[in-house]
Amino acid sequence: MVVGSNPSAATKVGILSELDDIPIRELFVALMDEGIKRKLKLRHLSNDKVFELYDGELILHHRSAKGLCEDRRTLRHFQDSLGQWPPSAELGIKFLSQYAHLKTATLARYTATIKGFFNWYGEKLNVKIPVNRQLPPYVEDADINALLETIRNKATHKKTVARDMFLIHLAVNTGLRRTELSNLKVGDIHLDQGILVVKREKGTIRGS
């Protein structure tokens, strides 16, 4: 301080003065990770309400009716196993451990469903199920030709021979699934453009 000066009282400026008007709890919540904030909000709800809310997330993100049904079934079993206990990573691992004897692909599917729930819930489930990717079984040309010959020479439904043979050739050369083949419409085939439109449960793809 300089002798003879008359300095004004110190004042808080900028962000510090603004923080004085924010309650400590609100400031703490504002600085939290989004996952932690969601977990704090959800932990005060019943398990019924928590799983009901997550079901809405599933509906929005799923494009497969079968996949949605499978996820709901797995989550229903998980909720039953929790009882009144709130969800936790430890209980999630305990739930999955009872399926350790199943095929790897099945266990991996259950794990993905439960991990998806915990990611939404705001807690990480550190479980990884390695799945070996397998190529589909190879079909010999002789077997395909035998099938085509059987269709060509069948005694009934002669009018569908051309259609059935076309579907076999289409399956062999494109790798389409049975459901995709059965859902094909005449309007999906654009011969002038060399394009076949295939509608899948997870969306729509175009292939030539």
Average pLDDT of span 88-95? 95
Of the pLDDT bands very low, low, confident and very high (cuts 50, 70, 90), residue 71 is very high
Instruction: Supply the pTM of this predicted model.
Output: 0.54
Query: What separation in angstroms does the CA of 85 have from each of 43, 45, 90, 92, 111?
Result: 10, 11, 11, 11, 20
How far apart CA 110 and CA 101 sit, in angstroms, is 13
| One domain, residues 50 and 113 | yes
Give the model confidence (pLDDT) of 129-182 as tens digits: 887 777 777 788 888 899 999 999 988 888 889 888 888 888 888 878 888 888
Q: At residue 20, does pLDDT exceed 70?
A: no
- Long-range contacts made by residues 98-106, C-beta under 8 angstroms, separation at least 24? 104/129, 104/130, 104/131, 104/132, 105/131
Asked whether residue 140 falls in the same domain as residue 166, the answer is yes
pLDDT in tens, 28-52: 555 666 666 777 777 888 999 999 9
Residue 80 has pLDDT above 70, yes or no: yes
Same-domain status, 171 and 187: no
Average pLDDT score over residue span 11-36? 57
Same domain? For 100 and 53 the reply is: yes
Question: Do 111 and 153 belong to one domain?
Answer: no
In this structure, the answer to whether residues 71 and 115 fall within a common structural domain is: yes
Is residue 164 assigned to a domain? yes
Q: What is the structure's pLDDT at 85? A: 93
Is the domain of 141 the same as that of 183? Answer: no
Encode 46-65: b = buried (16+ Cβ within 10 Å), e = exposed. Answer: ebeebbeebeeebeeebeee
Tens digit of pLDDT for each residue in 102-130? 998 899 999 999 999 998 888 889 988 88
* Count of structural domains, the chain: 3
Host domain of residue 161? 135-175
Whether residue 92 sits in one domain with residue 58: yes
